[in-house]
Amino acid sequence: MVSTPASAEQEAADRRFMAAAIRLAQKNSGRTSTNPSVGTLVVRDDGAGPVIVGSGVTAIGGRPHAETEALAEAGELARGATAYVTLEPCAHHGRTPPCANALVSAGIVRVVGAASDPDPRVSGRGYAILRAAGVEVVERVLADEAAERIAGYLVRSLQKRPEVTLKLAVSADGMIGRLGEGQVAITGAVARRQVRLMRAASDAILVGIGTALADDPELTVRLPGLEGRSPARIVLDREARLSPASKLATTARSVPVLAAVGLDADAARKSALEALGVKFLATETYEGRIALPELLEDLAALGMSSLMVEGGAETARNFLDEGLVDRIALFTGPGTVGAGGIVSPLDRNHIPDGFRLVREARFGDDALAEWTKAL
């Protein structure tokens, strides 16, 4: 089959509807794990311009898939229509039949896809089913934008570890805090609320034991309407030094706390924490530190697709040095810390190679900039 080049008008419309499908997919982002949140739009044009006749998002918990819902809404209007899918439609029989077959049966004549699916049960097969049935397929429309939104799923599938976001709050003079002072307010209340929202969209949050001891953070979401959305809290705690009196340990029964300890961590200290509900992941250590690749592999095996690293400087530097950061979320506040400040491992003029700026926003007096690595 020789495909005719799409008109500029068609290409512009494809990009517009795909952008809308990507925004739609955001609705259930972080709530479909271990499935990605996918968006589908069914669009038909009866001569008077394109009209959306069905829309769907992957359901909370991961099933049904987005296509099922969009096709159900479109009903008979799907016949002869175009489907915009932010991820290649699946080709496998899971608890539901393959979405590629469902699109064919519904009479879809054209499928525009964004991100490719690395799942070996799908990868290329979804599009092949469609083409074999005579459906016109256009691949990789806004593929990078769609992939960025499902980075957790893609990193976990391809690298067997969660996607790692390094979150840093840096003062105007490049500091993340002051030595020996516990939590120092670098950003304002609006930015701090945004951080809690970012926590709610992650599967886990991680800090080093230095930060846990110095700041005694709780690391929960604490936002109205999002109670119960706090992700698991992880402490890099080679020697099980977390205090049983800490906020983390004393709240471990309501929001999980996982201490990443060395294989030789003290048994008595561990059992004091265990009695409070703290769980342990024992990993190899090297150069006196938890082996991060091994820990991340364990977290992926527990079904975690996204991890937010929240501090402190040494932990951030270790993740950066080992090439284990996929996304940088850098908040910059207007104030200065001055003498005794802890220097940030990076600032916006020193972002490691391979990252591209994907978002900039302001939250009150603070700026947020985000960079991601190409997937």
Q: Which residues bind ligand AOF (CB under 6 A)?
A: 35-36, 38, 58, 62-63, 65-67, 87, 89-90, 94-95, 99, 117, 119, 122
Indicate the residue among 117 and 237 with the shorter CB distance to ligand AOF.
117
Indicate the residue among 125 and 373 with the shorter CB distance to Zn ion.
125
> Is 211 annotated as contributing to ligand binding?
yes
Q: Which of these, 298, 297, 245, lies nearest to 275 by C-alpha position? A: 245
Tokens representing 32 are 């479909």
Strand pairing category for 232-236 and 257-262? parallel
Residue 35 interface partner, choices ligand AOF, Zn ion, none, CB cut-off 5-8 Å depending on type: ligand AOF
Residue 58 interface partner, choices Zn ion, ligand AOF, none, CB cut-off 5-8 Å depending on type: ligand AOF
Q: Is 76 exposed, middle or buried (0-12, 13-18, 19+ CB in 10 A)?
A: exposed
What size, in residues, is the chain? Answer: 375
Q: How far is the CB of 34 from ligand AOF (least distance, A)?
A: 7
Indicate the residue among 90 and 296 with the shorter CB distance to Zn ion.
90
> Is 233 annotated as contributing to ligand binding?
no
> Is 215 annotated as contributing to ligand binding?
yes
Q: How far is the CB of 68 from ligand AOF (least distance, A)?
A: 8
Residue 119 interface partner, choices ligand AOF, Zn ion, none, CB cut-off 5-8 Å depending on type: ligand AOF
Catalytic hit among 67, 148, 163, 370? 67
* CA 372/CA 375 separation, integer angstroms: 9
> Is 222 annotated as contributing to ligand binding?
yes
88 catalytically annotated: no
> Is 310 annotated as contributing to ligand binding?
yes
Q: Is the CB of residue 64 less than 8 Å from the CB of residue 55?
A: no
Q: How far is the CB of 139 from Zn ion (least distance, A)?
A: 17
Indicate the residue among 12 and 132 with the shorter CB distance to ligand AOF.
132
**Shortest-Cβ-distance residue relative to ligand AOF:** 94
> Is 219 annotated as contributing to ligand binding?
yes
Q: How far is the CB of 305 from Zn ion (least distance, A)?
A: 18
Cα-trace Rg, the chain: 23
Per the annotation, binding residues for substrate are 219, 222, 310
Per the annotation, binding residues for Zn(2+) are 65, 90, 99
Per the annotation, binding residues are 65, 90, 99, 169, 199, 211, 215, 219, 222, 310
Active site members: 67
